[in-house]
Amino acid sequence: MLIQLLLFVVGLAVLAVGAELFIRGAVRVARKLGISPFIVGLTLVGFGTSAPELVVNLSAAIQGNPDIAVGNVVGSNIANVGLILGIAALVRTLTAEMRLLKVETPLVLVASVATWVMGLDGDIGRWDAALLLLGFVAVMVYITLSAKRESPAVKEEIGKSMPKPERMWLSLLFLVIGLGGLVGGAQLMVDAAVKLAESWGMSKTLIGLTIVAVGTSLPELASSVAAAIRGQSDIAVGNVVGSNLFNLLLILGATAAVSPLPVDDGVKWFDLPVMTGFAVLLLLVLVNGLKVYRWEGALLLLAYSAVMAWAVMRSRPTG
């Protein structure tokens, strides 16, 4: 078991480094192609930090472990709100100004409810995947068309956080090495997670919901906390909102397109409702002018800790 835990940590480290290199390469290629720093940053705020979830989910689906994929998406969305936004708000009261957040935040709740409804028949199939991916395309079109209406202050904040373009060959090298790290790290993580679930007597869904979800959410945690320290509230909040939206629409949709995802009773009546509940909490804390106070961050962190403790307790065999 110790070896598997070590392999999981190694896989997570490789995944994290791969994600960083891949994102760095993608951003610099986009800048080299003349795309504005704001548009690049706006896309990266939500999608870039979700790269680990995407690769881990596709790897799990291809390897025949769809339970881990479901748990990873649901657990990541819960962790993004409870753990990551909670910690970021404890660092500093967050005051965002991005207009897109006023639309994206309710969409997270809509997407959460839609996913729950899709899972009520026992799986998230390819037709469901098509609807989720169509929703992702619609969101991306909306973001692109609405970006021009953002305030100059928001454009400057996000644009300044983007690195300057470099030589194309170096950017492409980052992309290739980063992609290799993502794929290799994801395979190590999934393999180790399956063996850990077996040795601990836990379901694959629960392993995905807990250690895999937290592991793949580390880029969001690092990015949001760093942004909070720098006073970049739009990036800190946008990471969470954008990532949750992309997790459900793109990542869950792409994974279900590869392999239909089973939804057992535990996921149907506990995990998905809890994820939807955290989407409600996200909407409630941001409804007061896109602000998240320290005391709200503490409550989010407490709620996350309670949910994770209950999830582990309910998985323990009785008798």
**291 strand-pairing partners:** 95
Q: How many domains does the chain have?
A: 1
**pLDDT per residue as tens digits for the range 42-69:** 676 566 667 788 888 988 888 888 889 9
Structure tokens at 10: 């190694």
Nearest to 115, CA basis, from 258, 267, 243: 267
- In whole angstroms, what is the distance from residue 25 CA to residue 20 CA? 9
- In whole angstroms, what is the distance from residue 87 CA to residue 107 CA? 23
- In whole angstroms, what is the distance from residue 204 CA to residue 56 CA? 14
Percent of the chain with pLDDT over 70: 92
Q: The domain that contains 25 carries what CATH number?
A: 1.20.1420.30
Provide the domain limits for residue 66.
2-315
**pLDDT per residue as tens digits for the range 139-186:** 988 887 887 777 787 777 777 766 666 677 777 888 788 888 888 888
Which residue in this structure is represented by tokens 């994974």? 255
What does pTM read for this prediction?
0.90
- In whole angstroms, what is the distance from residue 202 CA to residue 133 CA? 31
Nearest to 93, CA basis, from 319, 308, 295: 295
Angle value at C-alpha 256, between 212 and 316, nearest 5 degrees: 40
Phi/psi at 123 (5° precision): -160, 165
